[in-house]
Amino acid sequence: MMGRPSNQAGELAHRLGDQAEAVCRHYLSKGHREGRYWLVGDVRNTPGRSLYVRLAGSQDGRGAAGKWTDASTGEHGDLLDIIAIAGGHHRLRDTLDEARRFLSLPGPEPVGDDPRYRREPKAPTGTPQAAQRLLAASKPFLATVVEAYLRNRAITDVRKGDPLRFHPHCYYRSSRDDLPKTRPAWPAMIAAVTDLDGGVTGVHRTWLDPATIDKAPVASPRRAMGHLLGHGVRFGGADSVMAAGEGIETLLSVRQIMPAMPMIAALSSPHLGAILFPAALRRLYVVRDDDPAGDVAVATLSERASSVGIEIVPLSPMLDDHNEDLRLIGPERMRAALRPQLVPADVGRFLMPSR
């Protein structure tokens, strides 16, 4: 939420993340822990479940300990933002001093007009025009490491018309969490983010390592750029019945079982809760992950959809997510688990018969 120097604030945010639960218990005391997350109503410590804070970093690089998102507003930040709001701070210096006090760290030398305390604007996340240029510079993804990566995740139903592309040398901006000699470019899967009219508003990048046919060994192998809120990566055209989920691999895993279902990947839980509904939509299947963020996304979509006559139907995985189901349990058992979750009228229309 707030701009800050990368050295002082970054180090303090990292230290706070190491004690994320203690920070939450102190500054977000009206919340509670559920699994790997701390849930509360909002950044001002209102009771509820809309805001969730990661208490431990994820192994897939999608989030660090202390990072938080409010599914109702789309706001996100780190624990320094929580401390700033809790203390009503108007100066970054006050927030850093409070963070040091909480962590029992000594104050810096010197203070006064030390330039390390000056606010710096956040780096831009990329415009739709930049996203369109990156998409135009990419190539078809079939018969590349992108297709190999998806097949390595048991996703074999890949199509020429899918909104995916391949970039052989996609620039990667390293972060504080990367190794000092992290490569500046990797092959990448590029996914087009579009609005309801099909206009490109952004792209999503997944950096890949050809040697392992997996995500590249960087701190943030997945990043998006452009205007994302309300939009998504669309597989198939809008219809009265559709499915929506967070990740591209998650939705493509379900498409292995329901190949005719139109789908949209929103790329994060907050963005899933904020997707714009096509005019023809009457029933939306929410392909959720098995975590509190999935609960929040379903609740947010249900509240929004009820006012416009759209039915929300959750599709829950057996393991943590649907790609794990596909890879570790297999398509037949996955099909058997999804069948009772579907509206009966949709079973024959969308669910692939058992072999």
Half-sphere exposure of 185 (CA within 13 A, CB side): 5
Are 158 and 147 a contacting pair, CB within 8 Å? yes
- Which residue bears the tokens 């939450």? 24
Are 202 and 193 a contacting pair, CB within 8 Å? yes
Name residues whose C-beta falls within 8 Å of residue 160's C-beta, 6 or more positions apart in sequence: 140, 142
* 129 to 79, 134, 143, 184: CA distances (angstroms): 32, 9, 28, 22
Global model pTM greater than 0.75:
no
Give Rg (Cα) of the chain: 21
Are 262 and 232 a contacting pair, CB within 8 Å? no
* Distance, CA of 106 to CA of 108 (rounded, Å): 7
pLDDT in tens, the chain (355 residues): 555 444 678 888 888 998 999 999 999 999 998 888 899 988 889 888 888 899 987 655 456 889 988 877 777 888 999 998 888 887 888 888 899 888 888 766 544 444 444 444 343 457 899 999 999 999 999 999 999 999 999 999 999 999 999 999 999 998 888 888 889 999 999 999 999 999 999 999 999 999 999 999 999 999 999 998 899 999 999 999 999 999 999 999 999 999 999 999 999 888 888 899 999 999 999 999 887 777 888 888 998 998 899 999 999 999 989 999 999 999 999 999 999 999 999 999 999 887 6
No. of H helices and E strands in the chain?
12, 16
Between β-strands 200-209 and 76-77, what pairing exists: parallel, antiparallel or unpaired? Answer: unpaired
Percent of the chain as helix, strand, coil, to the nearest 5: 30, 20, 45
Instruction: Give the closest residue to 191 by CA, choosing from 258, 259, 252, 279.
Output: 252
* Distance, CA of 54 to CA of 307 (rounded, Å): 31
Cα 300 vs. chain centroid, distance in angstroms? Answer: 16
Backbone angles phi, psi at 189, to 5 degrees: -85, 125
